[in-house]
Amino acid sequence: MKPILTVFILLLCTALAAQKKGDWVVAQDGSGRFRSVQDAIDAVPEGNVVPQTIFIRRGVYAEVVTIDSTRHAVRLVGEDRDATIIQCGRHSGERLPNGDTINTWTSATVFVFGNDFRAENLTIRNDAGFSAGQAVALRVEGTRAALRNCRITGFQDVLFLSGAGTRHYFESCTIEGTTDFIFGAATAVFQNCTIHSKKNSHVTAAATPASERYGFVFIDCTLTADTNVHKVSLGRPWRPHAAVTYIRCTMGAHIIPEGWDNWKNPANEATARFAEYRSSGPGARPAERARWSRQLTEEEAAQCGAGAVLGYWKPFQ
**Residues known to be catalytic:** 157, 180
Angle at 109 between CA 104 and CA 112, to 5 degrees: 85
Long-range contact list for 286-293, CB < 8 A, 24+ apart?
A: 288/257, 288/258, 288/259, 289/257, 289/258, 289/259, 289/260, 290/258, 290/259, 290/260, 290/262, 292/260, 292/262, 293/259, 293/260
The span from the first CA to the last CA of the chain, in angstroms, equals: 45
- 207 with 242: CB under 8 angstroms? yes
Give the whole-angstrom CA distance, residue 40 versus residue 75: 11
Secondary structure of residue 14 in the 3-state scheme: helix
For residues 289-301, b (16+ Cβ closer than 10 Å) or e, as one string? bbebbbebeeeeb
Cβ-based neighbour number of residue 40 at 10 Å: 24
CA distance 74 to 112: 10
- Percent helix, strand, coil in the chain (nearest 5)? 15, 35, 50
